[in-house]
Amino acid sequence: MDGSDPVRRLCAVVEAEGPVDHPYSPVADVVESASAAAGVDQIALQVLPSGLLLVLSSGVNEARVVSDLSRELRNALWRLNRRLSGAHRLRCRISFHQGLVRLTDEGFDGQAVRVARDLCGSDDLRAALLESAEHDLALILSARLLDELAYPESTGLHREQFRRVTATAQGRHVPAYVYAYGEAT
């Protein structure tokens, strides 16, 4: 992929709430552990000022990636946080969107990257994470993505477990779905 050839990709952005000195650590360790456990190996990571951008290779099973990566990120956070309390716990927000992505001199760019970043920083997602001290992970998917991936196509993504929102960021209104995970099962 080069700057002149945009390609459809699944993008995710992970941002942390909690004891993080630099956006890369310990979030990157948790994301890398979750990616390995989910069997997601066709991934490019890019450090952002507020977290990490994950760009998946084209052709991945998007429903499996969203479901498995979210589950394993929740499990990795549980393992990290199980002996911690309060402000010492790492809590994360993750967003998913798909669309055209291009590689530029500054890194990955495109509509999918921008929407994923906006969704991850949305007030709706932040509020979902703060609803309960038990929530270690809050997830937001663009409505277009969940509409394409939801059950019966994916047994791990059920629309009824999500709350519909209209995320607003940078003057853009994006229909989306939010879900906050509690303890790992």
pLDDT in tens, 58-81: 989 999 999 999 999 999 999 988
Q: List the Cα angle 66/72/76 in 5-degree steps.
A: 140
pLDDT at residue 85 greater than cutoff 80: no
More reliable by pLDDT, 36 or 20: 36
pLDDT of residue 159: 81
Residues 157-172 have a mean pLDDT of 85
- pLDDT, residue 184, reads 46
Contact indicator for 119, 13 with CB cutoff of 8 Å: yes
Residue 105 dihedral angles phi and psi, to the nearest 5°: -65, -25
Instruction: Write out the two tokens for 168.
Output: 């607003």
- Does residue 151 have a pLDDT over 90? no
Residue 4 scores a pLDDT above 90: no
Question: What are 86-115's pLDDT values in tens digits?
Answer: 778 889 999 999 999 999 999 999 999 999
What integer is the mean pLDDT of 17-30? 70
Q: Is the pLDDT of residue 183 over 70?
A: no
- Among candidates 28, 46, 38, 50, which has minimal Cα distance to 110? 46
Q: What is the pLDDT of residue 114?
A: 94
Structure tokens at 159: 């629309």
Peptide bond into 152 cis (omega under 30): yes
Determine the pLDDT at residue 18: 62
Structural domains of the chain sorted by starting position, each given as residue range(s) with its CATH number in brackets:
7-181 (3.30.70.1230)
Nearest to residue 14, comparing CAs of 48, 63, 51?
51
- The alpha carbon of 10 is separated from its chain's Cα centroid by a whole number of angstroms, namely 10
Query: Would the pTM count as exceeding 0.85?
Result: yes
How far apart CA 130 and CA 159 sit, in angstroms, is 21
- Of the two residues 169 and 104, the one the predictor is more confident about is 104
> Is the torsion defined by CA of 136, 140, 141, 147 positive or negative?
positive
